[in-house]
Structure 1
Amino acid sequence: MSSTPANNDDDAPQDPLSEMLANLMGGQGMEGFDAAALAKAAGLPSDPNALSQMFAQVQAMMSGSSDTPVNWDLAHDAARKAAAGDDPSVTPAQSKAVDDALRLAEMWLDPFTDLAATAIVGSAWSRAEWVEETLGTWRRLTEPVANSIAFAISTAMNEQLPEEMKSVMGGAASMMQNMGGALFGLQLGAAVGALSKEVLGSTDIGIPLADLQMALLPANIKAFGEGLEVPEQEILLFLALREAAHARLFVQVPWLRGHLLGAIESYARGIHIDMSRIEDLAANLDPSNPEAMQAVLSEGVFMPARTPEQEVALAKLETALALVEGWVDEVTFAAAANLPAAGAIRETIRRRRATGGPAEHAFGSLVGLELRPRRLREASALWSSLKEQRGVAGRDAIWAHPDLLPTSADLDDAAGFGARRSAADASESDVDAALTKLLEGGFDDLPPTGEDTGPGTTEGESDGGPSTDK
């Protein structure tokens, strides 16, 4: 009579490939296994330390999170690694300079906006600190796309396997299915790390990446100022004005952050994955060469065509981003009137936001979306026109509700929008006044119910009494 193996971790049978991978990548070794000979045969480095690092990286890519198909730990590590090069720590002098600039900026902004100052304490960040403070928001923005990519890659990889291999894979298949999430995590981390070398503050791309904070990056500001021939103090103060203006807007208009992030998330959910590119990637997948896999992803894995629904969503998102950046641009320039180089700095930032840097383009290729205010100049002109027509308070009152915001068509006719908004405000005031009067006791000129109304007497009745039939 045959015996049945005990059902425990020590005795449970495993498929050969799963056991080999577990031993190999777990560093336990296998009896008679010659790692150097295998490396030489496979064309891999024979140095034990190099092999150990490679296997550790492959193991990290194979391991996944229990609550998401994307390896966000790997994304974090890749972002920190990309930001680490030439990332000097913030000095006490730099920290004080940033704090002083943000405090002065708050005072300079007061006469030029009806939105009150915030109680936020400003900070000076290194690039690594920017990564730590913003990665959670990047995860929120990209998770719909990341999940789609992870699912598409794992599906394509399974379809590429011959039928006889699928039975051999056994438990190792779950590790292979994490490859898609690991690939996206690596690429996202690299893109975020590269962005950390380009951004100037916490709101540099038009949305508050760090939840309700004000921060500037001294190392990046210094690089930004090279070649401008503008005193560094002027550049710092102008950028502090922009950061403080963003902070006021997002703090005093509490619905705005969720409005923008929600629009981005909705757009991302509708992104289509180019399955032919994914299949090619899976067919040529080399787990020992993460750099090559990242290069494939950086070229973009999305179909260029968008659905009509996505075109509408994208237009709304771009308009919202332009309105935010246009308002900040207008308010900042007004408050910076005392800075001799304000016009030059403003134009440099406008062009920078319109074109985007290399890291921003890489991020756009990865998620199929570039967070740039393409109509910044039109939006700035609209806010300027509203200030002329309605004053500072009237201009800023537009932020009271998302339904009041200008549309893309309104950006083409700034003066017309102001007139239409004033007419709508007057109509709403008339309705509110009538409703208030009614609730307070009605209209005095209405006759009591049943009272004779004279000329309006019902046909067949006379002023003197009941009608008489003839």
Structure 2
Amino acid sequence: MGLYHSVQAVAGASGDGPIDWDAVASAAKSSTDPGSLALTDRQEVAYADDVRAARDRVRDVADIGFDLPETVEIQNRHHWIDANVETFERVMRPLEQQADLMPGVARVANTGSMAFALSFLGRNVLGQYDPLLLADDGDDHALYFVHPNIEQVASTLAVDPDRFRRWIAFHEVAHAAEFGAAPWLSDHLESTMEDAIGALTEGSIDRASLGELDTTMTAVEGYAELVMDRAFDDEYDDLRRKLDERRGGQGPVAKLVRRLLGLGMKRRQYERGKAFFDAVADERGVAGAGAVWDGPDSLPTDTELDDPAAWLRRVDP
């Protein structure tokens, strides 16, 4: 869809920076079908009910206090791209500010790469909890559901769309619970990210900061998996199995793109983090696993992620 317009937008990338973000948004949306947002009244009510039910169940199971973000949106793919162009631009801004004036051909290549990434993600993301890292306008956190993707994947997997949507809601609300239980978490991620980006602008790689980011995100993803699994009010093994089979059954191009975008690393974070928190919860319960959010010093180290008993001994000697 709109391939010509997408290429035209990238080829016309302009400005002084290394990336033309207006062209990124235009190209990504031109090559992506927005999908339908023609929700029935029942579907609109169901989204709201799922989110509220997930909030109540997560509060109860995890024994943590939090509330939902002020912004909860049901989006099509173009809405998601617009929201995340802003996020990508915020994250890339320090690098852009340090970059020398880029020749046109490099700007076109950078713009095309970002547009391709956002287009691919826009067609695949189901839900997103966005802590709005590096935002400078004081916006609250946000929760998004990409309705056309949820409907499409539920159909592809041959599962009940209502049940599948509810499962996705529980996962994203579990992320909201983490950041609600740990007010320091956003600042911790921001400062670590800024350290890593700062090193890149100086031409070096801060492996300590990158390692800290990976460890923190492994804890974030793993805890959300634990809470979602323990709080979800239905069977879910078939949903997880079918979703994993779908990922594994993708063609070589899709697999390559997922690898280039770091989605394989994200899956590893899910699996490694969940194994850690399953072991902790089996020993101390889900509420005990929540001790990870007491402060930055309570986060597991990279070594402790593979040795939950060592983390337990350290935080609860």
| TM value normalised by structure 2 | 0.79
Q: Specify every segment of 5 or more residues in structure 1 that has no aligned partner in the other structure, as ranges.
A: 1-49, 155-176, 273-305, 424-470
Q: For 1:90-148, what per-residue CA distance to the aligned partner results, in whole angstroms no more than 9, with x for missing partners?
A: 42444333222112211222221132241435321111111122221111233455567
Aligned CA distance change for structure 1 residues 71 and 378 (closer, same or farther; 3 Å): closer
Distance 1:350 1:146 in 2: 36
What SS does the corresponding residue of 2:234 show, helix, strand or coil? coil
Aligned CA distance change for structure 1 residues 378 and 259 (closer, same or farther; 3 Å): same
Distance 1:356 1:256 in 2: 34
The answer to whether the aligner puts 1:401 opposite 2:310 as a matched pair is no
Residue in structure 1 matching 2:223, options 324, 327, 336: 327
Distance 1:419 1:386 in 2: 11
The total of aligned residue pairs comes to 304
Q: Do 1:131 and 1:193's aligned partners in 2 also have CA atoms closer than 8 Å?
A: yes
The residue aligned with 1:88 is 36
Q: Do 1:128 and 1:196's aligned partners in 2 also have CA atoms closer than 8 Å?
A: yes
The residue aligned with 1:199 is 125
Of the two, which has the highest radius of gyration?
1
Residue in structure 2 matching 1:75, options 7, 17, 24: 24
Distance 1:378 1:363 in 2: 18
Please give the residue correspondences for 1:236-275 in structure 2 after superposition, counting only pairs within 5 Å: 236-270=165-199
| TM value normalised by structure 1 | 0.56
The answer to whether the aligner puts 1:421 opposite 2:315 as a matched pair is yes
Give the residue type in structure 2 aligned to 1:334.
Answer: R
Q: Do 2:29 and 2:78's aligned partners in 1 also have CA atoms closer than 8 Å?
A: yes
How far did residue 359 of structure 1 move?
A: 6.8
Distance 2:250 2:200 in 1: 21
How far did residue 213 of structure 1 move?
A: 1.4
Distance 1:383 1:325 in 2: 10
Q: Specify every segment of 5 or more residues in structure 2 that has no aligned partner in the other structure, as ranges.
A: 134-138
Q: Do 2:226 and 2:274's aligned partners in 1 also have CA atoms closer than 8 Å?
A: yes
Higher relative contact order (CA 8 A, sep 6+): 2
Q: Do 1:105 and 1:240's aligned partners in 2 also have CA atoms closer than 8 Å?
A: yes
Q: For 1:387-410, what per-residue CA distance to the aligned partner results, in whole angstroms no more than 9, with x for missing partners?
A: 344444432132121111001100
Cα RMSD for the two superposed structures? 3.7
Q: For 1:183-239, what per-residue CA distance to the aligned partner results, in whole angstroms no more than 9, with x for missing partners?
A: 312321231122111000123xx9768951122112111222234343222111111
Residue in structure 2 matching 1:216, options 145, 148, 153: 145
Q: Do 1:69 and 1:147's aligned partners in 2 also have CA atoms closer than 8 Å?
A: no
Please give the residue correspondences for 1:39-438 in structure 2 after superposition, counting only pairs within 5 Å: 60-61=12-13, 63-65=14-16, 68-83=17-32, 85=33, 87-93=35-41, 94-120=43-69, 122-144=72-94, 151=100, 154=102, 177-203=103-129, 212-270=141-199, 310-336=206-232, 338-340=233-235, 342-348=236-242, 362=257, 365=260, 372-423=266-317
Distance 2:36 2:156 in 1: 21
Distance 1:416 1:355 in 2: 37
Aligned CA distance change for structure 1 residues 137 and 363 (closer, same or farther; 3 Å): farther
Q: For 1:157-176, what per-residue CA distance to the aligned partner results, in whole angstroms no more than 9, with x for missing partners?
A: xxxxxxxxxxxxxxxxxxxx
What SS does the corresponding residue of 1:216 show, helix, strand or coil? strand
Aligned CA distance change for structure 1 residues 346 and 207 (closer, same or farther; 3 Å): farther
The residue aligned with 1:24 is none
Q: Do 2:74 and 2:145's aligned partners in 1 also have CA atoms closer than 8 Å?
A: yes
Q: Do 2:68 and 2:176's aligned partners in 1 also have CA atoms closer than 8 Å?
A: no
Aligned CA distance change for structure 1 residues 389 and 106 (closer, same or farther; 3 Å): same
Aligned CA distance change for structure 1 residues 360 and 256 (closer, same or farther; 3 Å): farther
How far did residue 82 of structure 1 move?
A: 2.7
How far did residue 64 of structure 1 move?
A: 0.6
What SS does the corresponding residue of 1:116 show, helix, strand or coil? coil
Q: Do 1:319 and 1:408's aligned partners in 2 also have CA atoms closer than 8 Å?
A: yes
Q: Do 1:142 and 1:265's aligned partners in 2 also have CA atoms closer than 8 Å?
A: no
How far did residue 244 of structure 1 move?
A: 0.8
Which range moves more in the overlay, 218-227 or 85-94? 85-94
Distance 2:146 2:288 in 1: 34
Give the residue type in structure 1 aligned to 2:310.
Answer: G
Aligned CA distance change for structure 1 residues 135 and 98 (closer, same or farther; 3 Å): same
